[in-house]
Structure 1
Amino acid sequence: MPTLIEDYESGDPRRVLHAVWQTIGCRDPELLKPLVTTLPRLRSRTEGVELGGMIYLNSTHLDHAFRVIENYRDGLCWCMAYPDSLTYDPRKEQDRGHAEIRSTSTPGWEMTYECACTVCGQVFDVEQGDHHVTWWRWVPRGLKRRRSAAADVGGAA
């Protein structure tokens, strides 16, 4: 099975996007550490790869994956990736154990959530909207927090 680094460096849009989505959803330090050390090379090797996308360019997801790697490198909590992308569905993040939904507005296409990170406790106000696709805007309350050392023990949270 190819590594994420090999997928990023392949030049094949499908493989690059596979690596992007694996990175975005990853909380395993053993998978992220090699990406940190090769980040400049990954940026160079993916430059110019046509990733497509109609409503939301897939190159935006690639940039976000690189910021996820940078956040990990800089010791920021996993949740600090949320404000950088409109793709984090609070319900899925709760199902994965990454966030807790504390409250919601009346369900519908446009609704709001109050969510908290299960690692650092950071609270977010999340706005859900719809324009061709459903999106979620995460706005942190207060200061950004660093990931606890315990988050790296045992791999994925």
Structure 2
Amino acid sequence: MTTLLDDFLSHDRSRVMHAVWETIHSRDPETLDPLVAALPQLTREATRLDLGGVVYSNNANLEHALVKLAQYRDGKCWCAVYPGLLTHDPRKEETHGRIRILSTSEPGWSMTYVGECTVCGQVFDIEQGDHHFTWWNWVPRGLKRRRGEG
């Protein structure tokens, strides 16, 4: 059975990108714990591969996955991963029960949202934009409690 760690270390672009997106979207400790234990090796080995990318660098997505693992290791809330990656759609995050959308602007390609993390209560101002793809920029308002507190 192939693990995400195997995929990260495979030097095969499609396998590495599979591991990247699984990591970015996961909140499962059984999935993330083995990767956290291997974080120094992942940082050394997985970052050696040029992952390409047409509009947005896939190496930036890899870096985001590694940052998520470090944040998880350090006990930060799951929502700490939202800033820094433009693909976290607040509507999908709400559908998964990860945030509550508190308000939105008028519908359109340049919408704004206010969202609140359902775990720690962190509130974000979220700007939606569109160039070659629809993106979302998450900006936290102040600091809230850490994962597991309160």
TM-score normalised by length of structure 2: 0.96
Matched residue, 1:55: 55
1:65 alignment partner in structure 2: 65
Does the C-alpha gap of structure 1 residues 55 and 144 become closer, same or farther in structure 2, counting only changes over 3 Å? farther
* 2:12 match: 12
Cα deviation code 1:72-122 (max 9, x no counterpart): 000000001001211100001011111111110001000100100011111
Amino acid in the other structure paired with 2:59 = S
**Which string of whole-angstrom CA distances, capped at 9 and with x for unpartnered residues, describes residues 104-155 of structure 1?**
00010001001000111111000000111111000111115311169xxxxx
CA distance in 2, matches of 1:52, 1:72: 26
For residues 60 and 31 of structure 2, what CA distance do their matches in structure 1 show? 21
Measured in 1, the distance between the counterparts of 2:115 and 2:139 equals 10
User: Does residue 37 of structure 2 align to residue 37 of structure 1?
Assistant: yes
Structure 1-normalised TM-score? 0.92
- For these two proteins, the number of residue pairs brought into alignment is 150
The 1-side partners of 2:111 and 2:149 are apart by 34
Q: How far off its partner does 1:31 sit?
A: 1.1
Give the Cα separation in 2 of the matches to 1:47 and 1:114.
34
CA distance in 2, matches of 1:139, 1:61: 18
Contact 2:109 2:130 in 1 (8 A): yes
Q: Is the 8 A contact 2:114 2:124 kept in 1?
A: yes
Q: Which amino acid aligns with 1:31?
A: T
**After TM superposition, which residue ranges in structure 1, 4 or more long, deviate above 4 angstroms?**
none
In structure 2, list runs of 5 or more residues that go unmatched: none
Q: Which amino acid aligns with 2:134?
A: T
Aligned-residue Cα RMSD (Å) equals 1.2
How many percent identity over aligned positions? 59
**Residues in 2 aligned to 1:144 and 1:65: alpha-carbon distance in whole angstroms:** 22
Consecutive unaligned residues of structure 1, counting only runs of 5 or more, are 151-157
Alignment partner of 1:84: what SS? coil
- Supply the distance in 2 between the matched residues of 1:45 and 1:55 (Cα, whole angstroms): 24
Q: Distance in 2 between matches of 1:100 and 1:144?
A: 15
The answer for the alignment partner of 2:106 in structure 1 is 106
Q: Are 2:47 and 2:59, in contact at CA under 8 Å, matched by a contact in 1? A: no
CA deviation string 1:56-84 (max 9, x = no partner): 00000000000000010000000010012
Aligned ranges 1:1-157 → 2 under 5 Å? 1-148=1-148
Matched residues in 2 for 1:148 and 1:47: separation?
31
Cα 1:34–1:149, aligned 2, differ >3 Å: closer, same or farther?
A: farther
